[in-house]
Amino acid sequence: MNIAVLPGDGIGSEIIAEALKVLRKLNLPLEMQEAPVGGTGYDVSGDPLPEATLALAKSADAILFGAVGNPKHDHLPRDKRPEQAILGLRKHLGLFANLRPAQVYAELASASALKPEVVAGLDLLIIRELTGDIYFGSPRGIHTNAAGDREGFDTMRYSEPEIRRIAHVGFQAAMKRGRRLCSVDKANVLETSQLWRDIVIDVAKEYPQVALSHMYVDNAAMQLVRAPKQFDVIVTGNLFGDILSDEASMLTGSIGMLPSASLDANNKGLYEPIHGSAPDIAGQGIANPLATILSAAMMLRYSLNQAAAADRIEAAVKRVLASGVRTPDIFVEGTHRVGTQEMGAAVLAAL
Ligand code: IPM
Ligand code: MG
């Protein structure tokens, strides 16, 4: 099994290093090949998504991705900025289905910013459409309007097939879980959302066992912090999903805990923590590697057909958390504070 490893920027290389140790420990026939991406890719080739990196990603069975983004590149034109690397990979590889599970480990309930009783036992899956919407819609740009003022504009756009296929992913995921699907939109204001809602309702006819509900995104943002356990699976568009998944991460105690899978129509996927490159703590050895380690577990499960190995990793993470080992982002009084490498070592030991 060929895995393209793209550590990227900031804490990317630190957290990926720990995930690789975990993968190697499993004694599976994994070929791992690394390539530069993001600001690191730009620095070596003048392109955040170097051609060779894209070729490697295309030829691999799965991609393990760290994070991209570096303030040092913020002055670059948009098409050269590190973020273009991940957006380009998603688009070029057709990775339209983004799975972002948010689970609260019993031991971490007290690390959440919310009351433990609100989040304890939470098990939520956000399915975010990843290759459409205002992220990719055209036209877009900054121009001078008729009044002589500069004006920025983007286009929110979804076609029926795009909505249909992500709706199917949502219903199929709900079938494997609690059979409740909440579709999040802004149909009271946006045409795009009206079409989204109509199509989701149509697709629902094929899944009579799933209870479908709809929620406006502003209400969903509120409900996620008021009573998050009401949700089983949420399906939503690219922009709303970006925002809601960051919000959901805080229910679990830390954004450093959330893995993700971005899948194409054949379950080939890119796996990455949902957090970014965290330049403020890069190089300090304190980043939480668990989101990346759990992303590696998702990779084994979804793209490489190694469910037993994925179970082993997830069980090891649970055991480590139960033992009280904590990186600073999930530290609470009475637990044992460690750095990135010690957390990786603890997971290895638990394996
Ligand atoms: C994410 C990130 C990306 C996004 C950025 C880095 C372009 O926030 O994966 O959620 O907006 O999709
Ligand atoms: Mg985001």
**Residues 260, 297: contact at Cβ < 8 Å?**
no
Q: Is the pLDDT of residue 131 over 90?
A: yes
Residues 259/295, Cβ–Cβ less than 8 Å: yes
Alpha carbons 118 and 107: distance in angstroms, whole number: 14
Indicate if the pLDDT at residue 242 is higher than 90: yes
* Cβ contact 192:217 at 8 Å: no
pLDDT tens digits along 250-273: 898 888 999 999 999 999 999 999
Residue 112 confidence (pLDDT) above 90: no
Q: Is the CB of 251 under 6 A from ligand 1?
A: no
- Which ligand number lies closest to the CA of residue 260? 1
- 242 in contact with ligand 1, CB cutoff 6 A: yes
Domains and CATH numbers, the chain: 1-95+258-351 (3.40.718.10), 113-252 (3.40.718.10)
Q: Give the pLDDT band of residue 105 (cuts 50, 70, 90).
A: confident
Residue 48: asked if its preceding bond is cis (omega within 30°), the reply is no
φ, ψ at 276 (rounded to 5°): -95, -160
Closest CA to 27 of 317, 300, 235, 220: 300
Per the document, the length of the chain is 351
Query: Which residues are placed with Cβ below 5 angstroms of ligand 2, an ion?
Result: 242
Contact 131/95 with Cβ under 8 angstroms?
yes
pLDDT digits (tens, 9 = 90+) for 268-296: 999 999 999 999 999 999 999 999 999 99
Testing ligand 1's pocket by substitution, the residue of 78, 87, 96 carrying the most ligand atoms inside 8 A of its CB is: 87
Write out the two tokens for 21: 């140790």
